[in-house]
Structure 1
Amino acid sequence: MSELRVRDVTLYYEEHGAGTPILCIHGTGGSAGGWGGALDELAARGRTIAYDRRGHGRSERPEPYELTSVEEHADDAAGLLRGLHATHAVVIGRGYGAEIALDLVERYPGLVRALILLEPAILTLTAEAHSWEGALVDGVVLAAGAGGPAAGAESYYRRVLRDEEWDELPEELRSTMLGNAPAVLAELKGGPSRPDEGALAQLHKPVLIVSSADSPPVFRAVDEVLADLVPGAVHEVVLGPAGPALPEVLGFLDGLLDGRDQPGYENA
């Protein structure tokens, strides 16, 4: 078990492998443990760092913890990379973690070599998706008001993952995710991220965006918009979960680490 004081919280992190830094940023309600066996695949390729974001799992949860933002988590990620002397990193973000990765590269470009975004689903990029997100948040708030934070978090997971996928998750994993309910609500109350589209158009780093064909259609739609905004971004749509051990992800990563970055990308 390793911990590092970053800004105003203590963050739990794990390191696997050696070489080029690879930072894994989990999604809403997740943890470092949620990357599972994919960490072995990643660690065979570089120094893989997975951590519990503030308010999640084994990391410190500020009290009270009622509100957070993508920017706050990106500042934490930057502090972690600097504290561990782990720059210039390939950053893999899942869900909300992908939004954090985008904000990280926008405000701390010198810390990041490339991005792998697993279902970033930035729902402010289209009016339809933004409306869908508003209905989602309203439902979560109602559920939390009636049954407490865990009920609100479960409402969120069932809407995003769908009932069948949520019910099929291992009991231990569902328990962990529900234990992070205060963090889930704090993220939703913090509001959606709004990336600077002008900055995205000037992002000259390798970017892979992976969407799942099984996810809500609004997710894929906004991922397509994001891919169009980022010069040279690669967008893959896969069957099943958009996970970090997919051949599309590992192939992209192998290309980076073998020095096959495309000409024109910033590598410093």
Structure 2
Amino acid sequence: MSELRVRDLTLYYEEHGAGTPILCIHGTGSSAGGWGGALDKLAGRGRTITYDRRGHGRSERPEPYEFTSVEEHADDAAGLLRGLHAAPAVVIGRGYGAGIALDLVERYPGLVRALILLEPAILTLTAEAHAWEGALVDGVVLAAAAGGPEAGAESYYRRVLGDEGWEGLPEELRSTMLGNAPAVLAELKGGPLRPDEGALVQLRKPVLVVSSADSPPVFRAVDEVLADLVPGAVHEVVLGGPADPGLPEVLGFLDGVLDGRGRPGHENA
């Protein structure tokens, strides 16, 4: 077990493998342990760092924890990379973690070598997706008011994953995600992810955006918009499962970055 004091709290983190740093930023309600079998594949390619974001799992949770922002989490990620002398890193972000990764590269570009964004779902990029997100948040807030934080978090997961997707998760994983309910609600109260589109069109790092065909259509639509905004970004849509970092499309992109190939005409360091 490893911990590091970062800014105003202590973060739990793990390191696997050696070489070029690879920072994994988990999505809403997850943890450092949420990368599954992909972790061994990543660790075979570089110094892979996973961590519990503030308010999640074994990391410290501010009291009271009612509000957070993508900027606050990006500042934490920057502090972690600096504290571990792990920059520049290939940053892999999933869901909300992908939004953190985008804010990190916008405000701390020297800490990031490349981005792999797994279902970033920046829902402010289209009017339809933004309206869908508003309905999602309203439903979660109502559920939390009626049944408490865990009821609100479960409402969130069922709306995003579908009833079948949520109930198909291992019981231990569902328990972990519900245990992070206060963090889920704090993120939602922080408002939607709004990256600076002007900064995105100026981004000169290798970027991979990965969408799942099984996810809500609004997710794929905004992922396409995001990939179009970033010069030279690669967008992959995977079939029959989630956007996982162990997929061949992801590992092939990562190998290209680590081999120094990147994308012609773009930074790779």
Establish whether TM, by shorter chain, passes 0.5. yes
Q: 2:29·2:178 contact (CA, 8 Å) conserved in 1?
A: yes
Describe the SS at the equivalent of 2:34.
Answer: helix
Looking at structure 2, the residues matched to 150 and 44 of structure 1 have their Cα atoms a distance apart, in angstroms, of 36
Q: In structure 2, the residue corresponding to 1:14 is in which secondary structure? A: strand
Distance 1:135 1:42 in 2: 36
- How far 1:138 moved relative to its partner? 0.2
RMSD: 0.6
Counterpart contact for 2:88–2:111, Cα < 8 Å: yes
CA contact (8 A) 2:209 2:234 kept: yes
Counterpart contact for 2:260–2:268, Cα < 8 Å: no
Deviations 1:238-263 (A, max 9, x none): 01100110000000001111111123
- How far apart, CA to CA, are the structure 1 residues paired with 2:63 and 2:267? 40
Matched with 1:156 is 156
SS in 1 for 2:33: helix
* Cα separation, 2, equivalents of 1:145 and 1:224: 35
Deviations 1:33-80 (A, max 9, x none): 011121100000000000000000000000000000000000000000
Separation in structure 2 between the aligned mates of residue 228 and residue 256 of structure 1, nearest angstrom: 20
CA distance in 1, matches of 2:161, 2:32: 19
Inter-partner Cα distance in structure 2 for 1:68 and 1:195: 16
Aligned twin of 2:136:
136
**What is the CA-CA distance between 1:265 and the residue it aligns to?**
1.4
Distance 2:17 2:246 in 1: 15
Whether the aligned pair in 1 keeps the contact of 2:206 and 2:268 (CA below 8 Å) is: no
1:138 & 1:197 partners in 2: Cα distance?
26
Kindly provide the CA deviation profile for residues 167-190 of structure 1, in whole angstroms up to 9, marking residues without a partner as x. 011100000000000000000000
Q: TM-score, normalised by structure 1?
A: 0.99
Number of matched pairs:
268
Runs of 4+ in structure 1 deviating by more than 4 angstroms, as ranges, are none
CA distance in 2 between partners of 1:101 and 1:84 (Å): 17
Specify the SS of the correspondent of 1:199: helix
Alpha-carbon offset, residue 266 of structure 1: 2.1
Query: In structure 2, what is the Cα distance between the partners aligned to 1:245 and 1:261?
Result: 19
Describe the superposition over 1:211-251 as per-residue Cα deviations: whole angstroms up to 9, x where unpaired: 00000000000000000000000000001100110000000
Shift of 1:92: 0.1
Which secondary structure state, in structure 1, belongs to the residue aligned with residue 67 of structure 2?
Answer: coil
Q: 2:118 touches 2:243 (CA, 8 Å); kept in 1?
A: yes
The SS at the match of 2:58 is coil
Q: Distance in 2 between matches of 1:129 and 1:262?
A: 30
Deviation at 1:267? 3.5
Cα distance in 1 between the residues matched to 2:173 and 2:194: 30
CA drift at 1:91: 0.1
% same residue:
90
Partner of 2:250: 249
TM-score, with normalisation over the residues of structure 2?
A: 0.99
Q: Distance in 1 between matches of 2:41 and 2:184?
A: 28
Q: CA deviation at 1:160?
A: 0.3
Distance (whole Å) between structure 2 residues aligned to residue 47 and residue 81 of structure 1: 12
Does structure 1 conserve the Cα–Cα contact (< 8 Å) formed by 2:257 and 2:268? no
Residue segments in structure 1 that go unaligned for 5+ positions in a row:
none
* 1:102-147 deviations in Å (ceiling 9; x for gaps): 0000000000000000000000000000000000000000000000
CA distance in 2, matches of 1:89, 1:227: 21
- More deviation in 66-75 or 257-266? 257-266
Other structure's SS at 1:66 match: coil
Distance (Å, rounded) in 2 between the aligned partners of 1:264 and 1:112: 17
